[in-house]
Every structure is written in C-alpha cells, then in structure tokens.
C-alpha cells in the first residue's frame, strides 16, 4: 500500500505520516503553508497541480487533512477562501483520486451540526451554523457522491503537541507559559481527541477496508474550559489562569455549536473497544510535551512548589558536578591513559536527576526524545533504543527472521561476515541457526576484504553482516553493489563508528538495519545501552516488536489502547477480542533500557559533533607522530572516500617487532591498550565447532590476532596525555634501536 497525505505539515497530517510509517506503509506527504524539503509543495485549489501530483505518486489511499489556516472565525469573514479550500480543493482531490483509482479519507468536524442536541451519531442530520461547518459539509457530500469506497472521519477538539500548530493545547501552552490568563468557553461541549489516536484509528480503518462515515473522537465529553484546565495541569502550568466564560462573552465572529460532541458506537462496534479516555490521551500528550520542552531547560516553566523545588535540586546538582567531577591534573606514568572512557558534563547529571525525580524508570519521555534526536541525526526511517549494542545485534537478526517479512531469514541460511569481529556480532547468527560464512580481513583497514565477498556467495546466502572496525568504514561501494545484485539483506554493526562517513554519507544508513552501542567505551554513552538504526520502513514495527517482548501491540510502557481497538483484534489462532497487549507476533524479549539511561543519552547526543572532531584530532596527532616508525609499524589504511570517526588507533607490528614487548612497554607507562576484539573469532574457545563455512583462508585474520592492537583516541584525552603516549613510543623505539646497535657491535 502507498499513501499520500495532503497537508502532512499540519497537526493531523504529521501524525498520520508517523502512524503510517510505523505500520510499514510507504508514505508521501504534501505541504503548503509550512514548507518542508521532505514533502511535495501542493496547493489543492490548483486542479492541474493536484492531478499531476496524484499521477506522479500513484497512491492507493489519499488522506485529505487540509484546513483553513485561520480557523472557524477566519472562514466566517473570508467565505471565498473557505469555499476555495474546503469545497473546490476537495473536488480537485476527489477527481484526481478517481483518475488513479485511489481511496480518499476525508477529515470533517462536529461543526456540521447546530449543537442543539449533541452528542451526534453518524445518522443525525447535519445543520451547520457557520461558513466553516457549511463548507466542510459540502466537502463531505462531494466525497460521498463520487467515491463510494471513501472514508469520512468526523472529529472534534483535536489536540497534540506541535509547536508549528495553533491547536487548542498549544494555545493553552503559549498563554499560560507567558503567565497570561486565558478565557475559555464553559458552555461549548466537545470530545477531546488526541491527534495520535485519530491518526492511528484512521490507519486501522483503512487497513480494515472500512468505508462510509465514522465518528473518531475521545471517549469523554466535557466543556472546553475543563479541557483547558486538564491540559494546564498536564503541562505543569497554573490551571487557575484558565477563566471559564460563556460563549457570548468571548464574542466570536462565527456562531458555535454549544451542545456539540460525537457518539462513537459505530467505531466501538467495528473495533470491539471504547476510544481513548482523556486520562490516557493526556498521558501520551505529556510524553510528547516533556520530550520536546525538556522542562529543565524551559524558562518560566516553574509554576508549582514542586517545580520550584526541582529547579533548586537541579541547581545543586550542577554545583556538585563542578566540585566533584572536574578533570584532575595529569601526571605522566602515574595517571592512567585509558583507551576509552565516559566524557560528560553537568547536563548529563541534571538530566539523570530530573528523570529520577520524575520516577518513571521504564522507558519514557527521555527515551522518546533520544530516539527522535538519533533518527534526525541519521535521517533514518526509525531509531529504536535498546539496552546494549549486543542486544541491538540480536534484535536486528531476530527482526530479519520474523515471519511478518515476505522473505525472512531462516535456519540454514548463510550470512557473510568477517572473521575478525566482536563476539556479539556473531553470536546472534549462531543462536538463530544461521550459518556464518567467514571471510578474511585486511591488515590496515581491519575490515572484511571487499574483493573476497563475491566469491563467498552461494545459493544459500541471504545477508551480509559487517562491522566497521574501530570506526573505519567498510568499502560501501562494493558492499551495496553486491547486496543489490544478489538481493541480500545488509546489516551494519556501527557500534564503533558513530559519526563515520563514506562518500559523505553516515555509516549506519547504507544497510537495511544498523546497530550502535552506548557502553562507556563507545562514542557516546548512557552507561549501558544500544540502538537500532532502521532504514527499511517495513522493518520498523518488527524491530520494536522484537524489543518489546515480541508484542504485536505498539503501546508505550504505561499506555493502553493506542490503536483504538485493544479488544477488537483477531490474530493467529487466538479468539477474536483477545487483549492486544498480550498478542505476540514475533519472538522477542524485553530489550528496553530505562528512562534514567536515556536521559544521559539525550545530553550525550548533543556532543556528537564535538566528540567526532576530537577523535579526528587525536588520530591525526598519533598518525603523524608514528609515521617515522613505519618500518616496524603498519599504520591504519586511510580510504580517501571515507572520513572515519575513529574508535581507536590500530597498529600492527612488522619486521620482527614483538607486539607483546611494545604493549608491555606502553602498559608500564600506564597507557592502556586493547587487542582487535576477538581476533580470528574461530580461535576463541566459545566458538570452536560452531556450524560455519570458511571462504578461502583466514591468514590476515590470524595475523591481526597475533600482531595487532590499538590505543585510544577518545575525546577525554588531553594534550598532556597525547604527548605522553607519543613520547612513550619514541622512548620505546629509541631503546630498541640502541639495543639493536649494541647487539650488532657485539657480533662484530
């Protein structure tokens, strides 16, 4: 299925795009007032533009969400604009949809009723009071008359967190945040409807093949003034600033239906469950608000005694950081030069404390915010936070084995992978019954040898799983060509390579899936943690399912019924109506970290550019300093097409130099070293005898195991530390050369 969302830059349109993509549906959006490079610009009043757009995109379903920017009162004073957008624009979309055989989902309102005897069902006869209601009703009739399989969704009081929107929740936020009172009608009744709920129900109705008119609103019906107070409390604002007044006191230009609202019996019968109540909706809304405003950094957000106390605590945390966690002076030979380590500031500690005070503990608003930041950083279809890089690798392999895929991996399938690797890159393949096909690696790059991959492919090969070793990108030109020609899955282990690029493109964005680690040794940290970069939209929901016990349900922790049909599903051999929260469509585990960890990641994510630059700088200094010793050291191979965000500085000894002797010299100087992970992994005791195939020889992998190691380049290295490392290498070779000359003199 392919969906076109007209008005994707608006509140409803944006929520629809998110819901459609979560469902694995290919989605294209259009925009008009708020331009976006990711969307097609479209003016629905331009019939030729609409026809051309639909012919080019060829959607199966068109969601028409556009609305007059000025709202109900603007329509009353600008009737021509209202008719052009709501009536003429709808006619153009319907005509174009007929031309390409697409279904139309049109969004209408309870303002098509006069508000004298609400709430209203789908069968009640409309009688609009305003120009807005009249034009929306006429648009409904255009859709109904021309498209018998269309969907008309009537809703009301739609709210959500979106800074670009003028929806009711944002009006409350802006006024009360500024300390201003807000007059709100106490006699206008409505069903508050969270925009995410509206979008998710819309997608489910389309997937069910539903047609006709449906009321899609929240369960509770209440005055707008009560909704305003509830929103204020949810956003830690003062509800006393909401002043309930009668509609005549507000003096609106357009008449309002007072006893409004909609009945949802038809929707409940279709889904087998009641809609969201206001409490559930506000819980989800609060997650979005918290994730975006990041309350500890929002001036003026303090409006309660609890919030004032929190700010005092957080200020003390900042002071504590400055007293306790400032870097200590470096003393050569006495201070440890680590190969890696955590680098953090007061922001991480403030976030951690803020999360602890909230005491949500399970993944919550900070998790949402971190996932959003990383998704934006990579420009990926999705980003899924897990509790380690190791479980990230397990998650992606299990996701590719899901029976929800058209061509899942299955036991006995072959996966090409390098012999030099980290154990948990390989272990998921072994545990899933897949057959790893080992290919040799190159000294210098320490990556899989690209020239050997093609020859390793057999009729059983289904995927390639490659790590970018120590941050050095693999040859993605060759890899991408191979997976395209042989129709293979590509998984990138980017745990060591956050920020590395190949031809200007971030590694982790080439494959179907990619993984990251946030262990303290890695580029950014949350103590423990990892992530899955999802570049294939079909895999997004599967990855989340594997992470969340294998559940079919996508509700976040502490939430229920976000699909709107919790007791209306029939999957597998379960009885119809089995609780969706306990339907499991995939093999899975609980791989979620806590929100405490995610809070650290939110602050760390802001440091990525600085961390990458410091790794570049440290690497360059070591490379320049060690170039004179290339008779004895093989330095890293630098590919001009790539720009590595180095995890470490790899070295291979040559010409008879002893790795053990050099490593011991460095360790004696308190300089930490590490081997190139597992070396030839097949030599490790835990991996001997596994089901595997070896392509060619593993001579270079064995050499890396014997002769290679690496030192750190992480951002915590100071200039004094760098100079100590450089001088220690210099001292080693000076001693070696003197020893060699002495030995030569004795022989003479």
Is the pLDDT at 176 greater than 60, yes or no?
Answer: yes
Strand pairing report for 648-653 and 633-634:
antiparallel
> 628 and 576 in one domain?
no
Can you give the pLDDT at residue 35? 66
In a domain, 359, yes or no: no
Residue 31 scores a pLDDT above 80: yes
- Domain membership of residue 193 (yes or no) is yes
CA proximity to 480, closest of 535, 550, 401 = 535
Please report which residue ranges of 495-654 form alpha helices under DSSP H.
Answer: 537-547, 595-605, 608-626
Eight-state DSSP code of residue 637: P
pLDDT of residue 748: 46
172 lies in the same domain as 283: yes
The pLDDT value recorded for residue 741 is: 58
Q: Which of 293, 316, 341 is the last residue of a domain?
A: 293
Provide the angle, in degrees to the nearest 10, between the axes of the packed helices 719-747 and 608-626.
20
For 644-693, the DSSP string reads ---SEEEEEE-TT--HHHHHHHHHHTTB--B-STTSBGGGSGGGTT-S-E
Distance separating the N- and C-terminal Cα atoms of the chain = 83
Listed residues 293, 311, 338: the one ending a domain: 293
In order of 47, 96, 412, 523, 597, the CA distances from 527 in angstroms are: 55, 53, 36, 12, 7
Residue 275 tokens read as 């809609």
Q: Is the pLDDT of residue 579 over 90?
A: no
Q: Is residue 351 part of a domain?
A: no
Look up the CATH number of the domain holding residue 654. Answer: 3.90.1150.10
Q: Tell me the pLDDT band of 302, cut-offs 50, 70 and 90.
A: very low
The answer to whether the CB of 496 falls within 8 A of the CB of 535 is no
State which residues form the domain around 683.
Answer: 608-747
Res. 310 pLDDT band, cuts 50 70 90: confident
pLDDT above 70: residue 745: no
Other CB atoms within 10 Å distance of the CB of residue 296: 18
The DSSP annotation for 6-49 comes to ETTTSHHHHHHHHHHHHTT-EEEEEESSS--TTSEE--TT-HHH
At residue 578, the pLDDT reads 87
Phi, psi of 203 (to 5 degrees): -65, -45
154 plus 253 within the same structural domain:
yes
Distance of CA 481 to the CA centre of its chain: 27
pTM: 0.79
299: tokens are 């001036």
Q: Which residue has the tokens 């979620």?
A: 592
**pLDDT at res. 583:** 87
How many separate domains does the chain show? 3
CATH at residue 206: 3.40.50.720
pLDDT tens column, 35-65: 667 788 899 999 999 999 999 999 999 999 9
Q: What is the mean pLDDT of residues 107-126?
A: 96
Task: Please report whether residue 300 resides in a domain.
Answer: no
CA angle 96–123–126, rounded 5-degree value: 70
pLDDT at residue number 746:
44
- What token pair was written down for 728? 């220690």
Answer whether 685's CB lies under 8 Å from 724's CB.
Answer: no
In percent, the amount of the chain with pLDDT more than 90 equals: 81
297 has a pLDDT exceeding 50: no
Nearest CA to 496 out of 701, 657, 710 is that of: 710
State the pLDDT at residue 224. 97
In terms of DSSP H, where are the helices of 457-548? 476-486, 537-547
> Does residue 577 sit in the same domain as residue 693?
no
User: ω before 144 within 30° of 0 (cis)?
Assistant: no
At 34 the pLDDT is 66
| pLDDT tens readout for residues 245-267 | 999 999 999 999 999 999 999 99
Residues 139 and 258 in one domain: yes
Position 726 in a domain? yes
338-372 per-position pLDDT tens digit: 999 999 999 999 999 999 998 888 888 899 889 98
Residues 561 and 681 in one domain: no
pLDDT tens readout for residues 705-717: 999 999 999 999 9
pLDDT at 245: 96
Pick the last residue of a domain from 568, 584, 600: 584
Report the distance separating Cα 377 and Cα 383, nearest Å: 10
d(CA 460, CA 639): 32
Within a domain: residue 532?
Answer: no
- CB neighbours of residue 411 within 10 Å: 10
Rounded to whole angstroms, the Cα distance separating 448 from 475 reads 9
Using CA of residue 293, residue 295, residue 298, residue 302, what is the dihedral sign? positive
Are 579 and 615 within one domain?
A: no
Q: Are residues 569 and 708 in the same domain?
A: no
Poorest-confidence range of 254-268, 514-528, 556-570? 556-570
One domain for residues 576 and 630: no
Q: Is 431 a catalytic residue?
A: no
Do residues 655 and 560 share a domain?
no
Q: Is 184 helix (H, G, I), strand (E, B) or coil?
A: strand
Could you tell me if 220 and 124 lie in one domain? yes
Q: Is the pLDDT of residue 74 over 70?
A: yes
Residue 706 resides in a domain: yes
> Where in 412-470 does DSSP place strands (E)?
414-418, 435-439, 461-467
* pLDDT band (50, 70, 90) for residue 232: very high
In the structure, what pLDDT confidence band is assigned to residue 289 with cuts at 50, 70 and 90? confident
**Same structural domain, 183 and 216:** yes
Any idea which of 10-19, 150-159, 288-297 has the lowest mean pLDDT? 288-297
Residue 743 lies in a domain: yes
pLDDT tens profile 599-627: 999 999 999 999 999 999 999 999 999 99
Residue 554 pLDDT exceeds 80:
no
Active-site hit among 522, 523, 695, 724: 522
Question: What's the confidence (pLDDT) of residue 295?
Answer: 45
């Amino acid at each position: 299925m392919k969906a076109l969302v007209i008005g994707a830059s608006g509140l409803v349109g944006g929520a629809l795009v998110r819901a459609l993509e979560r469902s694995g549906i290919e989605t294209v959006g259009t925009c008009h007032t708020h331009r976006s490079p990711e969307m097609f610009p479209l003016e629905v009043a331009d019939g030729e533009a609409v026809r051309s757009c639909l012919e080019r995109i060829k959607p199966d379903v068109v969601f028409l969400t556009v609305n007059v920017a000025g709202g109900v009162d603007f329509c009353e004073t600008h009737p021509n604009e209202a008719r052009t957008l709501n009536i003429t624009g709808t006619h153009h979309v319907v005509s174009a949809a007929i031309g390409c055989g697409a279904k139309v989902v049109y969004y209408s309102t309870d303002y098509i009723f006069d508000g004298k005897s609400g709430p209203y069902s789908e069968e009640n006869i409309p009688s609009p009071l305003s120009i807005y209601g009249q034009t929306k009703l006429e648009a409904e009739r255009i859709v109904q008359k021309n498209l018998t399989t269309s969907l008309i969704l009537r809703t009301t009081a739609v709210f959500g967190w979106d800074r670009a929107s003028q929806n009711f929740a944002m009006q409350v936020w802006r006024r009360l945040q500024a300390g201003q009172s807000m007059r709100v009608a106490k006699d206008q009744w409505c069903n508050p409807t969270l925009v995410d709920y509206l979008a998710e129900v819309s997608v489910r109705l389309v997937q069910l093949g539903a047609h006709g008119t449906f009321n899609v609103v929240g369960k509770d019906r209440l005055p707008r003034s009560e909704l305003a107070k509830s929103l204020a409390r949810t956003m830690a604002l003062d509800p006393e600033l909401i002043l309930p007044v009668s509609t005549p006191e507000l003096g609106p230009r357009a008449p309002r239906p007072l006893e409004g609202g909609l009945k949802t019996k038809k929707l409940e019968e279709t889904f087998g469950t009641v809609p969201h109540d206001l409490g559930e909706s506000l819980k989800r809304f609060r997650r979005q608000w918290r994730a975006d405003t990041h309350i500890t950094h929002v001036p003026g957000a303090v409006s309660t005694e609890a919030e004032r106390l929190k700010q005092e605590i957080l200020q003390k945390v900042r002071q504590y950081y400055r007293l306790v966690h400032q870097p200590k002076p470096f003393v050569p030979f006495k201070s440890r030069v680590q190969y890696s380590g955590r680098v953090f500031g007061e922001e991480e500690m403030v976030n951690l404390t803020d999360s602890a005070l909230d005491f949500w503990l399970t993944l919550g608003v900070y998790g949402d915010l971190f996932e959003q930041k990383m998704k934006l950083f990579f420009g990926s279809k999705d980003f899924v936070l897990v509790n380690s890089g190791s479980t990230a690798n397990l998650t992606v392999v299990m996701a590719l084995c899901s029976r929800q895929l058209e061509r899942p991996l299955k036991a006995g399938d072959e996966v090409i992978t390098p012999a030099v690797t980290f154990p948990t890159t390989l272990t998921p393949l072994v545990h899933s019954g897949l057959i790893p096909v080992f290919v040799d690696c190159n000294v210098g790059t320490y990556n899989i040898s690209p020239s050997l991959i093609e020859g390793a492919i057999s009729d059983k090969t289904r995927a390639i799983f490659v790590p970018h070793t120590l941050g050095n990108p693999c040859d993605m030109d060759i890899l991408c060509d191979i997976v395209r020609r042989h129709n293979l899955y590509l998984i990138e282990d980017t745990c060591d390579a956050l920020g590395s690029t190949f031809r200007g493109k971030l590694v982790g964005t080439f494959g179907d899936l990619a993984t990251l680690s946030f262990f303290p040794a890695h580029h950014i940290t949350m103590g423990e943690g990892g992530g899955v970069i999802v570049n294939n939209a079909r895999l997004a929901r599967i990855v989340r399912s594997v992470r969340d016990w294998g559940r079919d349900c996508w509700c976040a922790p502490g939430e229920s019924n976000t699909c709107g049909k919790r007791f209306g599903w029939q999957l597998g051999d379960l009885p119809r109506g089995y609780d969706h929260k306990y339907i499991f469509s995939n093999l899975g585990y609980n791989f979620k970290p806590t929100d405490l960890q995610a809070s650290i990641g939110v602050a760390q994510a802001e440091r990525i550019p600085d961390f990458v630059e410091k790794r570049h700088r440290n690497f360059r200094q070591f490379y320049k300093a060690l170039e004179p010793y290339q008779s004895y050291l093989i330095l890293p191979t630098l590919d001009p097409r790539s720009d590595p965000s180095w995890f470490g500085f790899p070295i291979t000894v040559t010409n008879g130099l002893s790795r053990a002797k050099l490593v011991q010299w460095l360790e004696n100087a308190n300089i930490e070293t590490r081997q190139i992970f597992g070396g030839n992994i097949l030599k490790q005791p835990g991996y001997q005898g596994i089901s595997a195939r070896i392509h060619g020889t593993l001579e270079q992998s064995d050499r890396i195991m014997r002769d290679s190691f690496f030192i750190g380049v992480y951002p915590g290295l100071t200039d004094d530390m760098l100079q100590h490392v450089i001088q220690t290498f210099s001292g080693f070779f000076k001693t070696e050369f003197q020893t060699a000359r002495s030995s030569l003199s004795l022989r003479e």
